[in-house]
Amino acid sequence: MKLRQLGNSEMQVAPLMFGGNVFGWTADTATSFSILDAFVGHGFNFIDTADVYARWVPGNHGGESETVLGEWFARSGKRDEVVLATKVGMDLGDGKKGLAGKYILEAAEASLRRLKTDYIDLYQSHVDDATVPLDETLRAYQKLIEQGKVRMIGASNYTGARLREAVELAKREGLPVYQTLQPHYNLYDRQGFEQDQQPVALELGIGVVPYFSLASGFLTGKYKTKEDSAGANRESRVAKYFDERGMKILAALEEVSKETGAKIATISLAWLMAQPTILAPIASATSVAQLEDLVAAPNLTLSEDALAKLTAASAY
């Protein structure tokens, strides 16, 4: 498994990022610890979370995922073995949202406390905030970098145009430059990213860490029909994939699975890893058994024929 360079730093990351949105949601603390132990035990080091995870769960307020990670760092002593990414900007209630400079500084301190660490490797703008000047946001990040609390920054859910604008401004003004982009991208959800953000990422040399890499479980082969997804935590998200195109994609994945002996989830991630600009797809697991299919992906090299078959089946 070859490591990949993260931005302009000397940090090296494995080509798979674990999505920490499950911590404090579908994975309790004990399960989360076992998953994290296994993930790092397999030689992986890139973990993503956000201050808003998992606010959507009844009784939660946000910060649960970061808290679980912080407790694991304290227990395991493996903070320095992990390239830690978190995000700021989503609504936490009581006016806590957005990318205003003052709020970013406050939110970063809260994340650091929950994570039980004194630095964040990759701090990401979770969603674009058109109400705040781009330079105000970047100057807040600059202050955090100067204080040693953040090492580099990334953008999530930015359009190609806004990403370009932010990068050009940063270079012009000598401010921190977004090194990564976190968009919605997978074998099914291709068009938006490939037509808008991918060309900009290619031009500017930005590493892409796509979320929903397995389409909420659709691209794992777990659900064969729409009815199979009934009662799932992401039922409403999964159901939309069971159209004619979705079934063609599943059929192609099944064919490649028979040819390679690899699991469908592994193949789906391997296809993503083979796409231009992809630094590391983000994927989650709620058990160590599920994790095995994910960590196998970097060691699966799909043939040109297999890649072409999957790309053709998912054509838009």
**What's the average model confidence in pLDDT over 9-24?**
96
What amino acid positions are annotated as catalytic residues?
53
pLDDT digits (tens, 9 = 90+) for 71-100: 999 999 999 999 999 999 999 999 999 999
pLDDT digits (tens, 9 = 90+) for 239-257: 899 999 999 999 999 999 9
pLDDT digits (tens, 9 = 90+) for 49-70: 999 999 999 999 999 999 999 9
Can you list the domains of the chain with their CATH numbers?
4-182 (3.20.20.100)
Mean pLDDT, the chain, integer:
96
Contact yes or no for 30/176 (Cβ under 8 A)? no
Burial 269-294 (b: 16+ CB within 10 A, else e): bbbbbbbebbbbbbbbbbeeebbebb
> What confidence category does residue 171 fall into, taking pLDDT thresholds of 50, 70 and 90?
very high
pLDDT digits (tens, 9 = 90+) for 253-273: 999 999 999 999 999 999 999
**Spatial CA neighbour of 51 closest among 125, 149, 118, 147:** 125
Question: Can you tell me the distance from the alpha carbon of 219 to that of 150, in angstroms, rounded to the nearest whole number?
Answer: 34
Question: Can you tell me the distance from the alpha carbon of 151 to that of 119, in angstroms, rounded to the nearest whole number?
Answer: 7
**Spatial CA neighbour of 204 closest among 4, 1, 8:** 8
In terms of pLDDT, which residue wins out, 235 or 312?
312
Which region holds residue 197: left if phi is over 0, alpha if psi is between -120 and 50, else beta?
A: alpha
Give the model's pLDDT for residue 229.
Answer: 60
Helix, strand, coil share of the chain (percent; to 5): 50, 15, 40
Half-sphere exposure of 41 (CA within 13 A, CB side): 10
Positive or negative, the CA dihedral 211, 72, 28, 221 is positive
The tokens for 307 are 């890649």
**What's the average model confidence in pLDDT over 203-231?**
87
Question: Can you tell me the distance from the alpha carbon of 98 to that of 92, in angstroms, rounded to the nearest whole number?
Answer: 10
pLDDT over 90 at 227, yes or no: no
Burial 52-67 (b: 16+ CB within 10 A, else e): bbbbeeeeeebbbbbb
pLDDT digits (tens, 9 = 90+) for 24-51: 999 999 999 999 999 999 999 999 999 9
Give the model's pLDDT for residue 230.
Answer: 62
At 93, the amino acid letter reads G
Query: To the nearest whole percent, how much of the chain has pLDDT over 70?
Result: 97
Give the model's pLDDT for residue 288.
Answer: 98
**What's the average model confidence in pLDDT over 293-297?**
98
